[in-house]
Chain A
Amino acid sequence: MLTIHDRIEEFLAADLHNELSESEREELHTHLMECAGCRDLHKQEQVINKALQGTLEHSKPLFGFEQRILGAFRNRVPYRKRNVGSFFLNATRSRAAQLAGAAIVLLTLFEIGQHVTGETNENPWRTLFVSRKPPAARATAAAAAAQSSWTAHAQVFAANESTNPTAPSPTAAPILAADPVASPKATVANTPVAVESSPGESTREDNTARANAPEDATANAATAQATPAPLIGGNDERKLIRNASLDLEVRSFDDALQSITDLAKAAGGYIATNSSEKQENGKLRGEIVVKVLPDNLDDFLGKLRGLGELKNQTLATQDVSKQYLDTDARLRNARVVEQRLVDMLEKNSGRVSDLLQVEKELGRVREQIEQMEGELKFMESQVQFATVTIRLAEKDMGAPAGFLIKERVQLALFVPEVEKVYATIRGFASDVVQISNAALDHDASGRVSARISMLVAPEESDNVIAKIRAMGRVTNFQVQSQRVARGGQGMAADAKTEWDKVELNITISREDDEPARQQTSLSVRAADVNGATKQLGAIAQTGQGKIRSSTFSRHPNGAEFSSVSLRIPLKNYNAVMQSLASLGKLENITVHREDRPGDVSDEQSAPADVTVTVYSQGNIVAPETGLSATLRRTLTQSAAALMWSLRMVGVALASVAPWALLVAIAFAVIIAVRRFLRARAG
């Protein structure tokens, strides 16, 4: 609790502002008498109070302040009459109206939805109402019944006691009947049994029915207990063969096998068969058949689960009781027959043939007996032990055993003499190089090409490829390598990687057939075409190139043309171009260069084609000159232009004409109708 001294500031302020209650003021003044410090504060506070009053006195709003505020408000907010619209506008702002609106919208949506889906039968309002009604009705009915017929209940109780005195459930009804007035509803809520049996007339039947119920229940319980009995106690009445099979994924096959053996021993069983198989990737897979006592089967299966990941499990039970009993009965019958036959033999009266007959019959019967005994024994052994088939697989069964890297190399070789190279490469064949396919083609145009496919041992491949590449120009060189998983899929960290034989595909073509890297065409004007052409041959020789083709032609007007196509290595291109300039003036130079990205061939020796057209000027004279010719040309051209524009006008007219016709017809019809009408009126 704060004392007044601690809160002196508040009190002083409130005192100055006259906001202290009577008792508080008294308290303050008492304190001020005692405390000099607070008294001093009080004085100072009064000074401040005065100062503030004096200062703020002059800060009051100027005269006419309220009028100004009101006037401004009226100016800025136009006066509105309250009308229906504003009423609704205000109504939308009330929360109740908003809720009602939302409810209406939802209801409408609901109705629409019902219409759309066509669920008219299931009216939820009705179901809501109906479902709510019965409990209430039941409760009231129960209360009424409890009040009116408690004597009946008492009688029933007596009857119950006589028929089944130990039945526990009917006592609920007498409790209700004994105290009906006190709190029938509570009883109804607590004992639903009473509610169901409330109608007075039928209580007797109900009760007998209920009295029977416990008996049924105990009977059921008895059978329920009886059912598992043969399984547990080995009762002879039921012969059940239990089989289970399961798939397990384990870390190690051998460890799992050891554990299973131990488990089987513990469960009073043994391992019947055991087979395993080693996969390519070193993982083991196998099947183990275990026989265990049926009682321990479930326990055994549960323990097996701990060995690894359970993939699959089936449990089957086969009831062979009937078969067993049948066989047993027939066996007993056969034994009786056997005994009789034995008796017959022992009597030994009769003929030998009869005896033989009896002997034969006895043999047959004994055979049957043995067979049946065998069957029974088999069944018993089956019943005695449950068979569990466990299929084990080690983890990562599907991991690949190894990887194979297959490399495929493809190259295109351009050489001067195809046949020679072809023969050389074929000569490579040895125990590490295997030629799988070789073909030499001479086509109709005299072109020669060859294809060779070979398989090369991986360690030898680089060597062979280098040798082949040295034979000519290589343009297209592709290496594809492929990693193939063996014996599985996916990744395996420790799988081995092996190299397969390298597949080598070679295409050999003549070097002339190689597409030029750069194509240049140009023309040279020279007086002596023939001489220039000869010079070209010399230039080609110095540039280590050769002439691929050349043509010569002479026009009637005396002009001579000579076209020469050269192929030179790219490194000499600039030198050749310079020496060409010595022939004459170079014109119309066009250069087309084709750079294929990823081209592996040697840039320097790549072929470049140069097509040179050498020409001399003939007698180039215009056919007609002079004023008359010019005039004639002008006239013909203008006449042609005129005809052309006429044709265009015709086209335009043709496109407009149908519309004009249509409009004209419309007008005509209108005028005719009007005339007709006027004539009628007249």
Chain B
Amino acid sequence: MKAADYELYFAAIHGDQEAFEMVIRKLSRPLFAIAFGALQNREEAEDTVQDAFVKAWKGRWRVRDAHKFPAWIGAIVRHRAHDILMRRKTIPLDEQFNEISSGQAQFWLADAERHQQVHAALATLPELHRSALVLRYLEGTDYATIERLLGVSNGALRGILGRALATMRKRLKPKLEGLHVNHS
């Protein structure tokens, strides 16, 4: 972690509200990715991130080590998302994706089915794998940051992402047979 980041987290933990807002600016997108990975619903993900920040502010003194701050707040988001997921368990997945797709622009209609398939495949992944994958693809976050946010040990992420992608491949393979991507 960079020294500047450490300073920022340290100040935030010790009650500097401006520093905490900086942290919000810095971490809200990755955290959104984590929440989205878990929930696959934008509104809920956004609410989750909001709640998580407020909760983090209130309980900031629990964090003794500023190095662990990103992992801590990441854990808050994941727990919160998990709670929401448990609560809405009865809603079938398909409907959600329909809802999501319907929000897309008209000319994406052709792709809508493909998006839905990808989401459905994502939904079958373990939560950690999904969060990692979404963090990577949604925000293009580098491996080191992902590791820090998810609290996985150094180097473990490669394995996680490798397995996640392989699973996706196996799930989507029959459906994407006809799909050709220009390969340079």
Contact = CB atoms under 8 A, between A and B. Distances in A.
A69 B46 CA distance: 8
A55 B115 contact: yes
A43 interface: yes
Contacts of B172: 48, 51
A12 B143 CA distance: 14
A70 B118 contact: no
Contact of B21 (A44, A73, A89, A93): A73
Contact of A13 (B42, B46, B165): B165
Nearest to B35: A61
B91 to A, nearest CB: 18
B163 interface: yes
Contacts of A86: 15
B15 A61 contact: no
A466 interface: no
Contact of A12 (B53, B61, B165): B165
A555 interface: no
A17 interface: yes
Given A9-B162, A10-B159, A60-B138, A55 B114 contact: yes
Given A61-B42, A86-B15, A14 B162 contact: yes
Interface stretch (B1-9, B79-87, B129-137): B129-137
A472 B15 CA distance: 101
A58 interface: yes
B64 to A, nearest CB: 7
A48 B111 contact: no
A220 interface: no
Given A66-B25, A69-B28, A70-B25, A13 B137 contact: no
B128 interface: no
A77 B143 contact: no
Interface string A4-21: 000101111110110100
Interface string B93-120: 0000000100010001001001100110
A384 B145 CA distance: 98
A82 interface: yes
Interface string B12-55: 00111100010011001100100010001010011001100110
B89 interface: no
A50 B137 CA distance: 10
Interface in A41-76: 41, 43-56, 58-62, 65-66, 68-70, 72-74, 76
B90 to A, nearest CB: 23
A588 interface: no
A38 to B, nearest CB: 12
B114 A9 contact: no
A19 B118 contact: no
Interface of B: 14-17, 21, 24-25, 28-29, 32, 36, 40, 42, 45-46, 49-50, 53-54, 57-58, 61, 64, 100, 104, 108, 111, 114-115, 118-119, 133-134, 136-138, 142-143, 158-159, 161-166, 168-169, 172-173, 176, 179-181, 183
12 contacts: A9-B165, A12-B162, A48-B168, A48-B172, A51-B172, A52-B133, A55-B114, A55-B115, A56-B138, A59-B40, A65-B29, A72-B54
